[in-house]
Homo-oligomer: A and B are copies of this chain.
Amino acid sequence: MQKQAEFPEAIKTKYPEQIVIAVARDKNGKANPITLGWTMLVSGKPPMMAIAVASTHYSIETIRHSKCFCLAFPSSEMADAALFFGSKSGRDIDKFAEFDCKIAPAEMIDSVLLSDAVANFECTLESETIAGDHIIFVGRIVASHISTETQKRLYTVGPGHKLGSVS
Residues of chain A whose beta carbon lies under 8 Å from any beta carbon of chain B: 1-7, 9-11, 13-18, 37-48, 50, 52, 73, 104, 107, 113, 115, 117-121, 126-127, 129, 131-134, 136, 138, 140-141, 143-149, 153, 155, 166-167
Chain A interface, >50% SS class: strand
A152 CB, nearest partner CB in chain B, Å: 10
User: A118, B44: Cβ atoms under 8 Å?
Assistant: no
Q: Report 30 cross-chain contacts, Cβ distance below 8 Å, ordered by A residue.
A: A1-B115, A3-B145, A3-B148, A4-B107, A4-B144, A5-B119, A7-B121, A7-B144, A9-B146, A10-B121, A10-B145, A10-B146, A11-B144, A14-B41, A16-B155, A16-B166, A17-B18, A37-B41, A38-B40, A39-B40, A40-B50, A42-B131, A43-B52, A44-B133, A46-B132, A50-B131, A50-B136, A126-B132, A131-B138, A167-B167
B10 contacts A43, CB within 8 Å?
no
Task: Kindly report how many copies of this chain are found in the complex they form together.
Answer: 2
Residues of B close to A127: CB separation below 8 A: 129, 131
